[in-house]
Amino acid sequence: MEAKNYNEMWKSLGMDLKAHEGLLGVLGKAYSDTFLSQKNRPAGMGYLDFVMSEIHGLRIEELVEARKRGRKVIGTFCLYVPEEIILAADAISVGLCAGADFGTELAEQVLPRNTCALIKSFVGFKLAGVCPYVEACDLVIGETTCDGKTKAYEVFSRYAPTFVLEVPHMKNPHDAVLWRSEISRLTGKIEEITGKNLTAEALKAAVETVNAKRKALHRLNRLRAADPAPISGLDSLLINQVQFYDDPVRFTQKINELCDELEDRVARKAGVAPAGTPRILVSGCPMAAPNWKVPNIIEKSGAVIVGEESCVGERGTRGLVDIEGTATRDQILDRIAERYLGIDCAIFTPNSERIGHITEMVEKYRADGVVHYEIQFCTPYTMESLGVRNAMSDKNIHFLRLETDYGMEDAAQLQTRVQAFLELIR
């Protein structure tokens, strides 16, 4: 079937068609080399392959059509922005973090060179006019998390309507009060943009939708504890990346169907790699699409990734919003605020829960080693790596730190280090 031509739509969004074509070419090849070359993939990954083949096409068309019907599209960059509040106003939430070295030269004209690749990428995508998601947004929500992002939103707001949410860096009672007031301020902004009043009923329905999505991802995670692992880490990462873009109800249904298939695989002891393959937990900075470099190196070196302690992984999906016993809108917002303040991002101090979660994940997924992934110039996660290494050493868990950016220049060197690490495990 001939691929549909979306040029008119992209042009209407103000994108740079030539630069965008270049990006799609690179992405298409990277996708096919990384994902389609894997062996024993579950058939259910066909849905994800389709979504990825239409990630700048059909999904954007859905957003454009929704906007014509009066719905708003809200872009986010961080786990601390509750999707429930956006959905309750009948708006669409899309994750905008970018995981490719594109538009970097443009980004470096407005940001210091020693800014992390994730920040340079989202600013670069906007300046280069290659991201249809950001162009389809009615509002972008930033947050005061790491210093880089906090200051980058001042620059970013020159190019797109931006609202910045204040995230505290500690979890004392007065921080919780500040955070709850920020949740109210965000709710007011979403109501203003959408022209909708957030009722208790709408909030409850949105909480149920997002809880169902998280439950499907929890189910997937549990299945990955099996040996042999029924699905690769690369495919699992892809699922976690797509959840930020796809329609939540459709995505939940498809992931539950995939889990049915994986349950059958586990029962038959069918896996993506033989039982006894070294099992790795990846921990650290988020891997936004299409950042697949390190997991690809790990799995192509003969290991299987069984969990991601990451925002694009279990840090993002851990914990549901418990609305049991709530009746009013304020009570539901209290519960939403509570759940989100529980996230253990490295921007918090102290952040010992994170080490507890990594240890728990190592045990749950029977990991043989932890690869701590750090994006160069990311101070919060680089600083925390020492504590993680010490905690893993206390438990006799193999540990490897990898600090890198989005470029491919260090791929061979990373591969050598990963192979040596896997030798140690074996």
Q: How far is the CB of 119 from ligand BJ8 (least distance, A)?
A: 5
As measured in angstroms, the least distance from the Cβ of 64 to ligand BJ8 is 26
Span near ligand BJ8 by CB under 6 A; candidates 44-52, 85-93, 101-109, 341-349: 341-349
Judge residue 238's burial from the number of C-beta atoms within 10 Å of its C-beta, 0-12 exposed, 13-18 middle, 19 or more buried.
buried
287 Cβ neighbours under 8 A, 6+ residues apart: 99, 237, 241, 294, 295, 308, 310, 312, 373
Q: Scanning residues 73 to 92, which ones bind ligand BJ8 (CB under 6 A)? A: 78-80
Q: What residues between 215 and 274 interact with ligand BJ8 by CB under 6 A?
A: none
Under rule CB under 6 A, residue 99 binds ligand BJ8:
no
The residue (of 152 and 223) whose beta carbon lies closer to ligand BJ8 is 152
Of 195-214, binders to ligand BJ8 (CB under 6 A) are: none
Q: Which residue has the tokens 């918090």?
A: 348
Cβ nearer to ligand BJ8, comparing 115 with 194: 115
Q: How far is 55 from 296, CA to CA, in rounded Å? A: 20
**Options 60, 74, 89, 118; binder of ligand BJ8; rule CB under 6 A:** 118
Distance CA 331, CA 325 (A): 9
Nearer to ligand BJ8, 115 or 221 (CB): 115
To ligand BJ8, the closest distance from the beta carbon of 95 in angstroms equals 9
Q: How far is the CB of 302 from ligand BJ8 (least distance, A)?
A: 28
C-beta of 95 vs 230, nearer to ligand BJ8: 95
Alpha-carbon distances of 72 from 153, 191, 247, 274, 423, rounded to whole Å: 21, 11, 14, 47, 51
Annotate each residue in 134-163 with x if it binds ligand BJ8 (CB under 6 A) or - if it does not, as one string. -----------xx-xx--------------
Contact with ligand BJ8 (CB under 6 A) among 233, 278, 286, 369:
286
Site string (298-337) toward ligand BJ8, x via CB under 6 A: -------------x--------------------------
Q: Using CA atoms, how far apart are residues 76 and 91, in angstroms rounded to an integer?
A: 13
Is the Cβ of residue 273 or residue 311 nearer to ligand BJ8 in the bound state? 311
Q: Nearest to residue 266, comparing CAs of 234, 219, 226?
A: 226
285 sits near ligand BJ8 (criterion: CB under 6 A): yes
CA distance linking residue 8 with residue 6, whole number of Å = 6
Least Å from the CB of residue 146 to ligand BJ8: 3
The count of residues in the chain is 426
Residue 290 φ/ψ, nearest 5 degrees: -100, 50
Residue 150 CA to its chain's centroid (Å): 19
Q: Would strands 279-284 and 304-309 be described as parallel, antiparallel, or unpaired?
A: parallel
CB 53 within 8 A of CB 24: no
User: Which residue, chain included where needed, has tokens 């979890």?
Assistant: 171
Residue 77 Cβ, how far from ligand BJ8 at the closest point, in Å? 7
Q: Which stretches within 111-199 are classed as H helix?
A: 117-128, 132-135, 147-156, 173-194
Question: What are the tokens at 68?
Answer: 């014509």
Q: What minimum distance in Å lies between the beta carbon of 356 and ligand BJ8?
A: 17
| Cα 250 from Cα 248, distance rounded (Å) | 6
Q: Is the peptide bond before 286 cis (omega within 30 degrees of 0)?
A: no
How many Å apart are CA 100 and CA 26, to the nearest integer? Answer: 10
Asked if 213 and 240 touch (Cβ cutoff 8 Å), the reply is: no
Nearer to ligand BJ8, 253 or 379 (CB): 379
Contact 217, 317 (CB under 8 A): yes
Nearer to ligand BJ8, 116 or 262 (CB): 116
Among 15-23, 29-37, 112-120, 216-224, which window interacts with ligand BJ8 (CB under 6 A)?
Answer: 112-120
Q: Could you tell me which stretch among 63-71, 111-119, 384-392, 399-407 binds ligand BJ8 (CB under 6 A)? A: 111-119
Q: State which residue, 118 or 237, has the beta carbon closest to ligand BJ8.
A: 118
Asked if 120 and 107 touch (Cβ cutoff 8 Å), the reply is yes
Site for ligand BJ8 in 344-383 (CB under 6 A): 345, 347, 375, 378, 380-381
- Please count the residues of this chain forming the interface with ligand BJ8, following the rule CB under 6 A: 20
Nearest 5°: CA angle at 343, between 88 and 186?
Answer: 35
Of the two residues 134 and 262, which places its CB atom closer to ligand BJ8 in the complex? 134
The contact set with ligand BJ8 (CB under 6 A) reads 78-80, 116, 118-119, 145-146, 148-149, 285-286, 311, 343, 345, 347, 375, 378, 380-381
